[in-house]
Amino acid sequence: MSAALIAQVALGGLLMGLVYAVVAAGLTLIFGLMDVVNFAHGALLMVAMYATLLIHRATGLDPLLQLPLVALLLFIAGVAIYRGLIARTLAVRVNAGMVQIFVTFGLSIFLVGAAEFLFGSDFQSINNTLLGGRTFALNGIILPLPLVVSGIVALLVFLALALLSRTEFGRALEATREDHEAVALIGIDRDRVFGIGWGIGTASVGIAGVMLANFYYIAPDVGTNFALIAYITVALGGFGSMFGALVAGLIIGLTEALTALFIDPALKQIGIFVIYLAVLMVRPRGLFGRL
């Protein structure tokens, strides 16, 4: 096994890890804000991928150029989910946590079913894209261009999220997370902040969906595996920690790629699981968790 191959696999793993991290970022944002684990997160990734596919078919617009559009669509979807479903669960006095889990879980099943109904369960993909089929070569290391660009976009998303936390709205987010009741006194509308928080979290997963649509198959249950990895990423990084999501995403992408290379592609997830469990035994709240 050549060093170049190992480096290539490792880099590929890290780039995929960045995509995982963006999916996890949306999850951890919503969790950090209001303690809700969104079990529809994977389904929303799937929705973003199908949206990209449909827009591509209808208009021929390249997925890469669709980024702002799909992000906006998913933002609206996130706000709508908050308004229509999640806001209602906040009024629930008993079992609020369980209710939120199962509302989002029901939504997930519903969305997957809707996709199956509308598009069938066959795998689909987008061909003839700007990035498709191209590679990026450096010192004998060859990487698919869609993956490289996805990694760059992922980093930009994290940059945007970091900048967001410095804005007025970011501070309102932070304050609302700290104390729901108190912020009402200083004139912050909780529903507005939560709604926008859901919108941003969902838009993040939307961006990941667009990038994945460039090189990944599209099917109704495509989100399941990504969501699963996102939960593990969030727990590994620490619930509520954006930086933790980034680091954990990279660790997971790298571990997955190296397990597949050195042990067995069929067992690539075992590597992730082992790392996850090992870290949690030492740090029960993940790498950077406060909650």
Partner 1 sequence: MAGAVRGTLVARRRRELWLGIVVLVVLAALPFGVGNAYLRGLIVLTLLYAGLSQAWNILGGYCGQISLGHALYFGIGAYTSTLLFTRLGISPLLGMFAGGGLAGFAAFLVGLPCFRLSGHYYAIATLVIGMMAALLAANWDFINAAQGITIPFHGESWANLAFRTAILPFHYVMLAYAALIWFVAWLIEGSRWGFFWRAVKDDVAAARSLGVSIYPSKLAAAAISGAATGIGGALYAQYIGFIDPDSTLDLSLSVLIALPAVVGGIGTLWGPLLGAAVLIPVQQLSVAWLGSAAGGIDLMVYGALIMALALARPEGLVSFFHIRASRGATGHG
The minimum distance between CB 111 and partner 1, in angstroms, equals 7
Residue 17 in contact with residue 229, Cβ under 8 Å?
Answer: no
- Of the pair 28, 176, the CB lying nearest partner 1 is at 28
Give the other-Cβ count within 10 Å of 235's Cβ.
Answer: 21
The DSSP 8-state label assigned to residue 138 in this structure reads E
- Of the pair 34, 149, the CB lying nearest partner 1 is at 34
The minimum distance between CB 284 and partner 1, in angstroms, equals 5
Q: Name the strand (E) or helix (H) holding 145.
A: helix 145-164
| Binding range to partner 1, per CB under 8 A, among 1-9, 150-158, 203-211, 224-232 | 224-232
Q: Which residues pair with 144 in a beta bridge?
A: 135
Helix-strand-coil split of the chain, %, nearest 5 = 75, 5, 20
Q: Which residues pair with 143 in a beta bridge?
A: 136
- Of the pair 42, 151, the CB lying nearest partner 1 is at 42
Using rule CB under 8 A, residue 198 touches partner 1: no
The footprint of partner 1 on residues 244-283 (CB under 8 A) is 264, 266-267, 269-270, 273-274, 276-277, 280-281
Using rule CB under 8 A, residue 117 touches partner 1: yes
- Dist. CA 211–CA 219, nearest whole Å: 15
Torsion angle, alpha carbons of 282, 283, 287, 290, to 10: -170
Q: Site for partner 1 (CB under 8 A): how many residues? A: 51
- Dist. CA 69–CA 210, nearest whole Å: 10
Using rule CB under 8 A, residue 118 touches partner 1: yes
Q: Which residues pair with 218 in a beta bridge?
A: 124
The footprint of partner 1 on residues 91-110 (CB under 8 A) is 92-96, 98-99, 102-103, 105-110
- Of the pair 113, 140, the CB lying nearest partner 1 is at 113
- Of the pair 102, 217, the CB lying nearest partner 1 is at 102
The DSSP 8-state label assigned to residue 265 in this structure reads G
Residues forming the site for partner 1 (CB under 8 A): 31, 37, 85, 88-89, 92-96, 98-99, 102-103, 105-118, 120-121, 220, 228, 231-232, 235, 239, 264, 266-267, 269-270, 273-274, 276-277, 280-281, 284-286, 289
